[in-house]
Amino acid sequence: MNVCCYLQTLGIVRVPLHTMEDGERGLPVFLAGKFIGTSRKQLITALIQKQILSAEAVNQAVQRAKQLTA
């Protein structure tokens, strides 16, 4: 059994709400990580709906995260 596939976080997760000047570190790297189920989509939706970040900032981070995982 591969133990690394069963690691999970239970509890509070601190989401970086910034993107560093290099356009990579911060939220884009966080979004490029592994998420279970719909948690990634729920996080993105909450950031926009609760106006924690602008839709433009979130979309830029999502696009950068896609580039990092490609």
Domains, the chain, in order of start with CATH, read 3-69 (3.90.79.10)
Integer Cα distance of 62 and 48 in angstroms? 12
Integer Cα distance of 38 and 42 in angstroms? 6
Integer Cα distance of 6 and 21 in angstroms? 34
pTM metric for this prediction: 0.80
19: helix, strand or coil: strand
1: helix, strand or coil: coil
Whether pLDDT at 2 is above 60: no
Measured between alpha carbons, how far is residue 37 from residues 2, 15, 34, 55, 67 in Å? 20, 17, 10, 22, 21
Residue 9 pLDDT level (bands cut at 50, 70, 90): low
What pLDDT sits at residue 35? 87
Residue 31 pLDDT level (bands cut at 50, 70, 90): very high
